[in-house]
Amino acid sequence: MTDEAKFSANPSEPSRFFQRVDWASFGVTALLVLAVYWFTLAPDITLEYSGVYSTDAMYPGPSIPPGHPLWAIYGWLFIKLIPFSNIAWRLGVASAVAGALMCGLIALLVSRVGMLAAENISSFKNLLPNEEKSLRLVCGCVAGLGFGFDGCFWCRTVIADTWPLSLFLFALTICLLTRWFFLPQRVRYLYASALVLGLTLSESQALIPAAFGLPFLLAVGSRKLGREIFFSISIFLWSVLLLKDQLLQLGWSVNSSDQWILIGAASIATLTWGIQSFQTRRFFSEWKTTAVCTVLFFAGLSMYFLLPIFSMTNPPVNWGYPRTVEGFFHTVSRGQFESMGSTDNFPRLMMQLGIYGKIAANEFGVAYLIAAAIPLFLLHKIPLLTRKWLVGMLVAWIFVSLLMLVGLNPGPDKDIVESIKPFFAASHLMLAMLAGCGLMLVGAFFARPATSESRT
């Protein structure tokens, strides 16, 4: 009996989802990545916002909009726990640790989900236990290391920067959501993923596309729950559009290009809700679970309310002065920065997709992109539940990548592309997971059949 069948057949007593070899993949990958990051750490303050982030963490205060409240706490802890070297180097260690743990989570997921994807392949079944564990360990490590040394990400993990912490929270959200996906009776993991997603957005608004993309993975796992979640998303997005004048009074403006993005996202959410309502022939059957997820999501977002508290201590960095109502909304809405003009025509979008492809090929690697495409050609060989996860992850990647690209609206200028390149690491993270599963499938097809020994 496969693990998937066992999970569904014994809902009252499910076995552990992540096994020892999966945690070994996590540990080995995290340690290897951390070792490289450690030896490539910047020795002191670097350019851009390194000095601001260092001061913000040393004297916890509102940082560059939208404030980064979790970074202030996380960085402060590392400053206090590491008793030597300068502040910027200690915070570089904080970034490196967050990045290494995130790479470990990629390896953890690949080791387990990749095995579930390959278990129906006959040559994989012939592997001896130690050979199977070795394959899982290698594929998990290769996927985690591949992302860890991605050019879009590595440069941010060796300096004082908030991005590694944001991506770690994003990876943790995917990990918790996957844990629920394969064992839906353990609903606490779904609740935890909603909370961590809220924390992710309270730390970085650049990952807002994830809040729209990940529900597609959830909907593939449970149509009924997905129906309620997309209903909630559509209500929220349409409400933002209807109340945009009131939001403007609070300092939160919605320009014309952003308005079209909201209309498109709201329409997709409404359409998805309608399709799933038609398929399930029911409505509000999962309202309790949806309500708990919504409350926990906003509980994570409530970390923004730490900003007024930080501001009241009058720290050296007090960006936006959020101790006042006007200053709070000005900071959270990124009012001190010019509003981004989103992509507004199809030819420009095609040009930007070409830019994304070049960045992915140069920084993430052509070999990894090919590996990420392998599961799409072998879906018929993959068990149903794992196939759903892969399809859900693919759909989530499409929306996260597309919305990120449209929101950033990069032009052909090389300097602009270099400045926004790190933000594409969020979609590369999902590609790394798909690539690891692809490598697992390749390893399963070319596995050496057992000859004299039999599997135990």
The DSSP line for 164-220 is: HHHHHHHHHHHHHHHHHHH-TT-HHHHHHHHHHHHHHHHH-GGGHHHHHHHHHHHHH
Can you give the pLDDT at residue 11? 43
- CA 2 to chain CA centroid, Å, is 28
* Residue 5 to residue 8: CA distance in whole angstroms: 5
Can you give the pLDDT at residue 236? 85
Place of tokens 């981004």: 340
Element containing residue 28 per DSSP (H, E): helix 20-39
pLDDT means per 10 residues, the chain with 456 residues, are 45 67 95 95 88 91 90 94 91 95 96 91 82 92 94 91 94 95 90 94 88 87 86 86 70 64 84 84 81 93 93 89 86 72 80 90 91 90 91 90 85 82 90 94 76 46
pTM over 0.75: yes
CA atoms 387, 214, 102, 401: torsion sign? positive
Can you give the pLDDT at residue 150? 92
Can you give the pLDDT at residue 181? 92
* Residue 379 to residue 313: CA distance in whole angstroms: 56
Cis before 66? omega within 30? yes
Residue 56: C-alpha distances to residues 25, 46, 67, 70 (Å): 34, 15, 10, 11
Cβ neighbours of residue 54 closer than 8 Å, sequence gap 6 or more: 45, 75, 87, 88, 91, 160
CB 191, CB 122: distance < 8 Å: no
Can you give the pLDDT at residue 252? 63
pLDDT in tens, 205-232: 888 888 888 888 888 888 888 888 888 8
Q: Tell me the domain boundaries of the chain.
A: 21-222+286-445
Can you give the pLDDT at residue 145? 95
Can you give the pLDDT at residue 344? 73
